[in-house]
Amino acid sequence: MRVGRGWPSPAAALLLAASAAPAGAVGFTGPRESGQQGGGWNGPGQNGTGQHQTGQYVGIILGSVHIGHVHLNNFNPGLTYGRIWPGPRPRFDWFAEGGVFYNSYKEVSPIAMFGVRYDIGRLGPAEIHLGAVGGIGYYRKLSASLEQDYGIPNVAGFIPMAALSLSAQVGRTEYRLTTVPAGRDVKAIFNLSVAVHF
C-alpha cells in the first residue's frame, strides 16, 4: 500500500456516491433484520438492533495495485488486529485497527488506524459496507518528499494516512477493497485485504 499526494478522483467519487444513494437505489436490501441469526458471534442481527456489530477481528493484507505506475511494490503482505463497536447512529460502526505490513517502498511499515463503517445493505448473502479511515503509517522513503514538496509533517518517518473502503462480509469473513490517496506519478491505488471476525 502506498500513500500519495492527492485523492484518486474516480474511485473516491464512486465510493462517496454509493454512500449517498439509498440502499434500494443500488440494488441492495436493507440491513439484516434483528430476527435473523448469524454464526454465534455478536454480529449484525444479534445485538438487538440488526444494525450494529461488536467484536474483534484479524486482518490479512494481501496486496495492492498501483494504476499508472509499474515500479512500486504490489506485494504487500501484512497482519492487523482490530476492534469494532456501535457507532453514533444506526447502521454506523466505529473501528480501530493496528498492525504491520510490507509497504510499496519495500519497507516494514507499522500502521494504526481509526475509522467509521456504514452498512449500506445486503447483496445476496453479503453485507455491504462503506468505510472511511484515518491514521498513521511508517513510510521512510516517501515521508521526506511529502514534507519537502507539500509540507506534510512526519515524525521519524511516520506520516498521516487516509483511506476509503468498500467491503462485503459473509458470516465472519469480510473482503475489503481500499483506496488511498494517489500522487502525480500514479493514477489510482487499490489495496485488497481480508478480515476474520471473532
* Residues 161 and 134 sit within 8 Å (Cβ to Cβ): yes
Q: Is residue 29 part of a domain?
A: no
Q: Is residue 164 part of a domain?
A: yes
Mean pLDDT, the chain, rounded, equals: 79
Q: State the residue for C-alpha cell 449517498.
A: 20
| Residue 181 pLDDT > 80 | yes
Rounded Cα gap, residues 107 and 3, in angstroms: 13
pTM for the full predicted model: 0.74
Q: Is residue 25 part of a domain?
A: no
The pLDDT tens digits for 31-58 are: 443 333 333 334 443 333 345 789 999 9
Enclosing domain of residue 89: 9-19+42-197
Total domains in the fold of the chain: 1
Tell me the CATH number at 52.
Answer: 2.40.160.20
Q: Is residue 72 part of a domain?
A: yes
